[in-house]
Amino acid sequence: MTRAKRRQEIIRIIRESTEPVPAKELARLCEVSRQVIVQDMALIREAGIDIIATNRGYIVNTSHAVQRVFKVSHTDEQMEDELCAIVDLGGKVVNVMVNHRVYGRMEASLDINSRKKVTEFIENIRLGKSSPLKNITSNYHYHTVEAENEETLNSIGEMLREKGYLVEETQAVAYSKENPFCRKCKM
């Protein structure tokens, strides 16, 4: 078994297990030493797989967060207010997306979950030669927002509505297969 295949097998075993998997057991199943498993774990984590070592073995860290896509519109001057309001209520702005009629769907990862990250993002926009992605679609854009529960997402939606940033469904394009942000189509 190649190293890459072994790492894939380790990930599969841990994901399919209902209990933590000890390194000793992984070593036995993969016919390698425990030390090789520990080294593989470092490489697996480096590749972006969120595996946690517990006192009983390895588990995959599964997030219990929920996500919702909000269609919003605001000016450049209101961008900081919008982002701060979301993170202040416990949300994480995962990304920004636009649906351009010519270029299609474009998305950029944001990963903003604190005022500090908001400030850094706004400063990078101000200092850069690029403008926000929303500017190519007349300020209309989408954010995937992540939170601990639906109630938090509901609060964020209500706040966006109160501030006038939320584009209501009656204003938005109807959800359809052609709309890449369709909730029913599971984006």
Q: Mind listing the pLDDT tens digit for each residue in 115-147?
A: 999 999 999 999 987 889 999 999 999 999 999
Name the one residue in this structure whose structure tokens are 């400030």: 119
**Cα 100 from Cα 119, distance rounded (Å):** 27
- Percent of all residues in the chain with a pLDDT value above 70, rounded to a whole number: 88
What superfamily would CATH give domain 66-162? 3H domain (3.30.1340.20)
CB atoms within 10 A of CB 182: 15
**Cα 90 from Cα 65, distance rounded (Å):** 11
Q: Quick one: which of 101, 82, 102, 104 has its CA closest to 93?
A: 82
**Cα 117 from Cα 165, distance rounded (Å):** 20
3-state secondary structure of 142: strand
Task: Report CA torsion sign: 127, 110, 152, 74.
Answer: positive
Around 9, how many Cα atoms within 13 Å sit in the side-chain half-sphere? 15
Write the CATH number of the domain with boundaries 3-60: 1.10.10.10
More confident residue, 171 or 18: 18
Query: What is the model's pLDDT at position 118?
Result: 96
Q: Mind listing the pLDDT tens digit for each residue in 34-87?
A: 999 999 999 998 887 888 889 999 998 876 788 999 999 999 999 999 999 999
Query: What is the model's pLDDT at position 116?
Result: 95
More confident residue, 181 or 99: 99
Contact 121, 134 (CB under 8 A): no
pTM over 0.75: no
**Cα 182 from Cα 179, distance rounded (Å):** 6
More confident residue, 89 or 168: 89
Query: What is the model's pLDDT at position 185?
Result: 38
Q: Tell me where in the chain the CATH 3.30.1340.20 domain(s) lie.
A: 66-162
Decide if pLDDT at 170 tops 60. Answer: no
Q: Quick one: which of 55, 71, 66, 49 has its CA closest to 20?
A: 55
Contact 9, 47 (CB under 8 A): no
Query: What is the model's pLDDT at position 171?
Result: 44
Q: Tell me where in the chain the CATH 1.10.10.10 domain(s) lie.
A: 3-60
Query: What is the model's pLDDT at position 143?
Result: 96
Calculate the average pLDDT of the chain.
Answer: 87
Ranges 9-18, 133-142, 164-173: which has the least confidence = 164-173
